[in-house]
Amino acid sequence: MLTALAYSADNGFYGLGYGYGGFFFDPTYMLVVIGLIITLIASANVKSTFAKYDKVISARRLTGAEAARRILDANGLQSVRIERVSGNLTDHFSPNEGVIRLSDATYSSSSIAAIGVAAHECGHAVQHQVGYAPIKFRNALVPVVNICSRLSIPIILIGIILGMTGLGMAGVILFSAVLLFQIVTLPTETNASRRALQTLESMDLLYDDELNGAKKVLTAAAMTYFAAVASTALQLFRLLLLVRGSSRRND
């Protein structure tokens, strides 16, 4: 996946605070607001950068799908299929299915942005082929993180309401798995972009000025992952404050 969507556990709990008189507005919600602002800025940046270089047609006029096919074949990945998927910046590689799905804005476009994105997804396919360690670790975390993300907020909420600090802290620990997953994702995404740029250059799919444009698109996309980490870290800190605050009120 080219861009990150920050994990959100806002299921009604984040808008609540708990005190002696019942529920009240929680001032630590500002941490969530700050995280949201960070992710919105990163998202706006990648969209504007992509839009800018999506208007620049590459000299070789290959489409994103054609560039992806050449890269995959050059790396012995003829079995990996390329399919079109609806949406914008919804490009992703599905290792279980052996397919790269390119969005409408990428599949048939010959822009610098489209080719850069397509090459990035090929980078993920190559990572799986060569057994890139960080992506193996990341994939192993997926089922664990799915469970932790579903259970963490209810456990924290129950711990705060019942005054069970230990239970609340257990929920915080579970939520920290989401942050760990996002941190582990960072090297897989930056490495995929690095592989993409090196391949585009070595195969002469983009020329010097075009490579600079593709690099800007991929760098902007990478920043969404850093923004996601920052946002989740702020959420984790807030949850910790809430649990510790409830513990002091119950003493």
pLDDT given at position 246: 74
pLDDT in tens, 37-65: 999 999 999 999 999 999 999 999 999 99
pLDDT in tens, 145-194: 999 999 999 999 999 888 898 999 999 999 999 999 999 999 999 999 99
Report the 3 state secondary structure along 62-106: CCHHHHHHHHHHHCCCCCCEEEEECCCCCCEEECCCCEEEEEHHH
Q: How far apart are the first and last CA of the chain?
A: 46
Residue 13: is its pLDDT beyond 60?
no
From residue 177, give the alpha-carbon distance in Å to each of 149, 165, 173.
Answer: 8, 19, 7
In what order do the strands lie in the sheet containing 99-103? 81-85, 99-103, 92-94
83 included as an active-site residue: no
Question: In this structure, what DSSP letter does residue 110 have?
Answer: -
d(CA 28, CA 209): 46
pLDDT given at position 211: 96
Burial of 30 (0-12, 13-18, 19+ CB in 10 A): exposed
Please, are residues 127 and 158 in contact by the beta-carbon 8 Å criterion?
no
pLDDT in tens, 118-148: 999 999 999 999 999 999 999 899 999 999 9
Provide the token pair at 213.
């444009």
Query: Out of 66, 83, 97, 121, which one is annotated catalytic?
Result: 121
From residue 142, give the alpha-carbon distance in Å to each of 4, 73, 149, 158.
Answer: 15, 29, 10, 25
Which of 180, 186, 188 lies closest to 134, judged by CA? 188
d(CA 213, CA 196): 13
Please, are residues 181 and 138 in contact by the beta-carbon 8 Å criterion?
yes
d(CA 36, CA 6): 8
Strand partners, 103: 85
* Torsion, Cα of 176, 180, 182, 188 (10° steps): -170
pLDDT given at position 248: 61
Residue 231: is its pLDDT beyond 70?
yes
Residue 224: is its pLDDT beyond 70?
yes
3-state DSSP assignment of residue 23: strand
pLDDT in tens, 200-223: 999 999 998 999 999 999 999 999
pLDDT given at position 20: 36
Task: Look up residue 83 and give its amino acid.
Answer: E
d(CA 251, CA 249): 6
d(CA 251, CA 246): 9
Half-sphere exposure (CA, 13 Å, Cβ side) for 23?
8
